[in-house]
Chain A
């Protein structure tokens, strides 16, 4: 004999069990996937150069500095972007037993959107294992050739045909260092210890067809130049260890010193540039940012910046000085309102700074990302 109350209770139980079964039927296991491409928005590239293991280029959002992923490579990586920022080129060393055994030096081409290697070219074993500076790896203006720095310690350049994936030449460059491609045509220049610059024109087969040596442009004893240089139109901008700007044109056959001036003269405190990528050029304002430290002395040229100076290249004057903490490398965007990124190799961080003409391009901190690796030394902007 069932009472109405019992029937109602039984019905509720049936409904509850049914609902549970229905819920279970609707459950769908999650699917394991790989993101097909990086999140949209501006990119910031930060190289963490490995001396004991893998190097990597971390890709961050240029605005909020969140991580988008990375590209990984071997020891002592060098890194450069294509002009459209869609392709990354790296050179690094893969040792058979990591710290010993035969080495294989590899040029890798990465598609930035998918962070995937799309091509490899095996290089010479003599590829330089050296702290990253942008001018240790270069592309020709048409981006069909790559130039790779070698050292045994005798120096040379490997020329790579990127389309064919072949090495076309090894150019001996005794006493010279750094890679400075021309803005037009196929020419690569190097900086030499006697104070000159040597330029090699590359023919269609990838061979050096001629070399032109400049007059003495700088004094490596008295006023040595940083290897890091910035392209400004037809000129390369170099800085001496002690605060002189050298403007060198490679537009003609023979490199020529176009201008030279001090940006520290008359400033108290013995300020001088220091670090690795010590300069960053903003073309929209013809402006050069420089990492600066006080009390400069012999051997302080790698000291982190206490200030970043903004140098107006038309006026040849420092228009602002902004506080900084141990920044050793900088990169800046190309637009009217420059965004500058500063790398601190002490705490492996990057700081984002904004600026504008109204404030004399004074830098205002606007975000920081930490824990970017062991030797965070080179950055590039995606805009």
Chain B
């Protein structure tokens, strides 16, 4: 049981870390503190031991509560997303918020969908030309991510770079292909 609790706490800790780090990075410390407070309240209100009733095993962070939630950094298709969620900025996981413009170029990730057991090619487009939305969820996941010498997999660069309006606003995650097993 203590192992189960440790794993659950580790999962929460991991979730906290990636959310908090990205928040600090994009929004500054003041916002970071406000967001951390919100997360702590959220954690207290969450059931602490989410069980899969089918197997009786606790979910890991990658297959946790938010795995199907486009507002959560744990959403399965966000596996290589570094940025603010457009879904939490007035758009959706596939659309930019009003008044922003879609990036012309993207990076990609390969994410595993636990619902059907298949892998999908995900295109991460940035939305451009506006300031970041205050309080938008900020995520940092880098599965399969590579530095700029593999540019198409690189998530540390502003993908509004090819647009006329280059200000980074938020990021979407479109399914563009299914990876053959």
CA distance A178 to B157 in the complex (A): 13
**B123 at interface, CB cutoff 8 A:** no
Contacts of A298 in B (CB 8 A): 143-144
Known contacts A220-B150, A374-B25: A129-B141 contact under CB 8 Å = no
Contacts of B150 in A (CB 8 A): 193, 220, 224
Please choose the segment from A7-15, A94-102, A282-290, A310-318 that sits at the chain B interface, where 4 or more of its residues have CB less than 8 A away.
A94-102
Contacts of A332 in B (CB 8 A): none
**Are B28 and A128 in contact, CB atoms less than 8 angstroms apart?**
no
CA distance A374 to B146 in the complex (A): 24
A252 to chain B, nearest CB (A): 22
Docked complex: B117-147 residues within 8 A CB-CB of A: 128-132, 140-147
Contacts of A220 in B (CB 8 A): 146, 149-150
Contacts of B149 in A (CB 8 A): 175-178, 190-193, 220, 227
CA distance A100 to B159 in the complex (A): 14
A190 to chain B, nearest CB (A): 8
Contact of A100 among B20, B29, B158, B165 (CB under 8 A): B165
Contacts of A103 in B (CB 8 A): 166
CA distance A93 to B158 in the complex (A): 12
Contact of A153 among B132, B145, B157, B165 (CB under 8 A): B157
**Are B144 and A375 in contact, CB atoms less than 8 angstroms apart?**
no
**Are B28 and A374 in contact, CB atoms less than 8 angstroms apart?**
yes
**A373 at interface, CB cutoff 8 A:** yes
Known contacts A51-B168, A153-B105: A375-B24 contact under CB 8 Å = yes
**Are B148 and A374 in contact, CB atoms less than 8 angstroms apart?**
no
**A299 at interface, CB cutoff 8 A:** yes
**Are B147 and A224 in contact, CB atoms less than 8 angstroms apart?**
yes
A328 to chain B, nearest CB (A): 8
Contacts of A347 in B (CB 8 A): 24, 29, 32
Please choose the segment from A36-44, A57-65, A300-308 that sits at the chain B interface, where 4 or more of its residues have CB less than 8 A away.
A300-308
CA distance A224 to B154 in the complex (A): 12
**Are A371 and B146 in contact, CB atoms less than 8 angstroms apart?**
no
Contact of A301 among B28, B128, B129, B142 (CB under 8 A): B142
**Are A345 and B147 in contact, CB atoms less than 8 angstroms apart?**
no
Contacts of A100 in B (CB 8 A): 128-130, 165-167
Contacts of B17 in A (CB 8 A): 303-304, 326, 346
Contacts of B160 in A (CB 8 A): 129
**B67 at interface, CB cutoff 8 A:** no
**A339 at interface, CB cutoff 8 A:** no
Contacts of A192 in B (CB 8 A): 149
CA distance A151 to B154 in the complex (A): 12
**B80 at interface, CB cutoff 8 A:** yes
Q: Which residue of B lies closest to A227 (CB)?
A: B147
Contacts of A225 in B (CB 8 A): 147
Q: Which residue of A lies closest to B20 (CB)?
A: A346
Contact of B156 among A131, A191, A303 (CB under 8 A): A131
Known contacts A93-B166, A375-B25: A129-B158 contact under CB 8 Å = yes
CA distance A303 to B29 in the complex (A): 18
Known contacts A153-B157, A304-B17, A326-B17: A375-B148 contact under CB 8 Å = no
**A130 at interface, CB cutoff 8 A:** yes
Q: Which residue of A lies closest to B151 (CB)?
A: A153
**Are B21 and A346 in contact, CB atoms less than 8 angstroms apart?**
yes
Interface string of A265-303 (1 = CB under 8 A from B): 000000000000000000000000000000000111111
CA distance A348 to B36 in the complex (A): 14
CA distance A191 to B146 in the complex (A): 12
Interface string of B58-93 (1 = CB under 8 A from A): 000000000000000000000110000000000000
Contacts of A375 in B (CB 8 A): 24-26
**Are A374 and B145 in contact, CB atoms less than 8 angstroms apart?**
no
Q: Which residue of A lies closest to B147 (CB)?
A: A227
CA distance A42 to B97 in the complex (A): 47
**A76 at interface, CB cutoff 8 A:** yes
**Are A101 and B21 in contact, CB atoms less than 8 angstroms apart?**
no
**Are B27 and A99 in contact, CB atoms less than 8 angstroms apart?**
no
**B162 at interface, CB cutoff 8 A:** yes
A124 to chain B, nearest CB (A): 12
Known contacts A178-B148, A227-B148: A98-B167 contact under CB 8 Å = yes
Contacts of B167 in A (CB 8 A): 52, 95, 98-100
In the complex, which of the residues A103, A149, A193 has the most CB atoms of chain B within 10 Å of its own CB atom?
A193
Known contacts A95-B166, A374-B29: A299-B144 contact under CB 8 Å = yes
**A155 at interface, CB cutoff 8 A:** yes
**B39 at interface, CB cutoff 8 A:** no
**A246 at interface, CB cutoff 8 A:** no
Known contacts A99-B165, A193-B150: A130-B157 contact under CB 8 Å = yes
B16 to chain A, nearest CB (A): 10
Q: Can you report 17 residue pairs joining A to B where beta carbons are below 8 Å apart? A: A52-B132, A52-B167, A98-B131, A100-B166, A100-B167, A128-B148, A129-B166, A149-B148, A151-B157, A175-B151, A192-B149, A301-B142, A301-B145, A346-B20, A348-B28, A373-B28, A374-B29
Q: Which 10 pairs of residues, A with B, have the shortest CB-CB distance? A: A99-B167, A177-B148, A374-B28, A299-B143, A100-B165, A129-B158, A131-B156, A177-B149, A193-B149, A299-B142
